[in-house]
Amino acid sequence: MYHGAGRIVLEERPDPVAGPGELVVRVRACGLCGSDLMQWYQDPRAPVVLGHEPVGEVVEAGAGATVAVGARVFVHHHVPCMTCALCRAGRHTLCATFRSSRIDPGGLAERIRVPAENARLDVLEVPEHVSDAAATLIEPLGCVIRGQRWAGVGPGSRVVVVGAGAMGLLEIAAALAAGAARVVAIDPREDRRALAEGAGAVVRDDDDPEAVAAALGGPAHQVFVCTHAPAAIAGALHLAGPAGVVQLFAPPAPGAIVGLDLGAVFFREVTIQSTYSAGPLDTRDALALIAAGAIDAEAIVSHRLPLAEVAEAFRLARSGEAVKVVVEP
């Protein structure tokens, strides 16, 4: 239970019960997301059970549920209605139903209740050869896939990734899996650059536009900013080539003002995008890539801790010592 101001406490709750069409899932693993660490985002919701990247085993299925007891599954935290105008336009994460639906109480728990709509639309059985740790990356990889699809990443793309944390590493892997010709990753930390290089990127510790273009073999088609640092966001605009896309993946706090040299991009017709979460089509694509071995998701997981050590898990994630932390109840 997150009580605000960074305080995490273990609490006992009654075991959830499955209603019609619902599931109760015993959580085997749940990843920590950067959004779990954002106090400006989580404190107004506290007290709340965090965690939205769970993988587990179905231990109870309500009447009419289509997933059997014993199945090992990925559970998506939110699902859209699939019928509103936004959903029909492919903007599933903006759907009002998506914003209001959620697992109960949250992934950092021994057991969770999965509402009927979530169970019907976005509970996916995990193949036996995919580990629990790898399966926790389905949701974040789905977020990346959604953003890259919108940004137009495909065969021949020249891609820049700013920030080589867990999401940046997934951006690299997804772009290469989509056929990108070359990916340049920018990060000031030597250890993160080493990880990015291992993932297949050309690495740099600065965002000099000419040097980045030279490393790419031409102007960037897509730039993915996986940090909320204002200087990195501002610098990213200068990396995109003509008709390029700069996609903001990590939000600054509301009210934070970032100075952007918009005049420098006007004549290049650069598009600035933001992207939020993933829909049920994206999670299926993510699972398919992981299951096929096209993306080694488990390689991104740096730390695994039991639920009893969840406070330490958050400390590791906040400190930057960890790349990706998975809690294993």
Q: What is the pLDDT of residues 56-114, one digit of tens each?
A: 999 999 999 999 999 999 999 999 999 999 999 999 999 999 999 899 999 999 999 99
Supply the angle between the helices 280-292 and 138-151 in degrees, to the nearest 10: 110
Determine contact, residues 11/48, Cβ cutoff 8 Å: no
Q: What is the mean pLDDT of residues 209-219?
A: 97
Percent of the chain with pLDDT over 70: 100
63: Cβ contacts below 8 Å, ≥ 6 apart = 20, 21
Q: What is the pLDDT of residues 123-166, one digit of tens each?
A: 999 999 999 999 999 999 999 999 999 999 999 999 999 999 99
Distance of alpha carbon 243 from its chain centroid, rounded? 26
Percent of the chain with pLDDT over 90: 96
CATH of 23-136+301-328, one of 3.40.50.2300, 1.20.1630.10, 3.40.50.740, 3.90.180.10: 3.90.180.10
Model confidence at 236: pLDDT above 90: yes
CATH code, residues 145-274: 3.40.50.720
Tell me whether the omega of the peptide bond preceding residue 105 falls within 30 degrees of 0, making it cis: yes
Model confidence at 230: pLDDT above 90: yes
CB-CB neighbours of 83 under 10 Å? 10
- Which sequence spans correspond to the domains of the chain? 23-136+301-328, 145-274
Q: What is the mean pLDDT of residues 263-275?
A: 94
Query: What is the pLDDT, as a whole number, of residue 210?
Result: 97
Say yes or no: do domains 23-136+301-328 and 145-274 share a fold.
no
Query: What is the pLDDT, as a whole number, of residue 251?
Result: 84
Q: Facing residues of 274 across strands?
A: 248
Q: What is the mean pLDDT of residues 49-58?
A: 97
Model confidence at 252: pLDDT above 90: no
Q: What is the mean pLDDT of residues 297-315?
A: 96
